[in-house]
């Protein structure tokens, strides 16, 4: 039970900080647990690494922003802390199956 509570804390932290830099040290400080322990319990309970999950959630948030706003793709990429629009496009396509532009056109019917 205590491990599940730790994972819930981490998930909450990630959700609140998707638009900020997230690193292992800040998560360790936030939870009070060691980095290796966090990596192990997170993977065990969520089924993916912490960084895979952060990328997944950022792409999910980006998809929402692409559907609901007219923000430029580069602005969404920067807002969600991707290193470049190229890395954003690559991660988005890997997770969503489309580039951000293809996704936007498909979802708003252009």
- The string of pLDDT tens digits covering residues 85-108 is 999 999 999 999 999 999 999 998
Considering the domain architecture, whether residues 42 and 69 belong to the same structural domain is answered as: no
Statement to judge: residues 92 and 62 lie in one domain: yes
Q: For residue range 6-33, what is the model confidence (pLDDT) as tens digits?
A: 898 899 999 999 999 999 999 988 888 8
- Distance in angstroms (rounded) separating the CA atoms of residues 25 and 18: 16
For residue 32, what pLDDT is reported? 86
Distance CA(7)–CA(88), nearest Å, equals 26
Q: Mean pLDDT, the chain, as a whole number? A: 92
Task: Write the CATH number for 92.
Answer: 1.10.10.60
104 and 61 together in one domain: yes
Alpha helix locations (H) across 1-110? 2-16, 24-31, 35-46, 50-68, 73-79, 85-96, 100-108
Tens digit of each residue's pLDDT (9 = 90 or more) over 47-63? 999 999 999 999 999 99
The predicted-structure confidence for 70-79, as pLDDT tens digits, reads as follows 999 999 999 9
Can you tell me the distance from the alpha carbon of 102 to that of 110, in angstroms, rounded to the nearest whole number?
10
């Amino acid at each position: 039970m205590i491990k599940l509570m730790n994972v819930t804390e981490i998930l909450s932290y990630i959700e609140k900080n998707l638009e900020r830099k997230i690193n292992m040290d800040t998560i360790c400080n936030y939870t009070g647990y060691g980095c290796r322990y966090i990596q192990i319990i997170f993977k065990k309970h969520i089924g993916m690494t912490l960084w895979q999950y952060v990328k997944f959630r950022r792409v999910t948030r980006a998809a929402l922003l692409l559907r609901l706003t007219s923000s430029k793709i580069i602005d969404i990429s920067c807002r969600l802390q991707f290193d470049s629009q190229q890395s954003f496009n690559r991660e988005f396509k890997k997770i969503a199956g489309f580039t951000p532009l293809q996704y936007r056109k498909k979802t708003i019917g252009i």
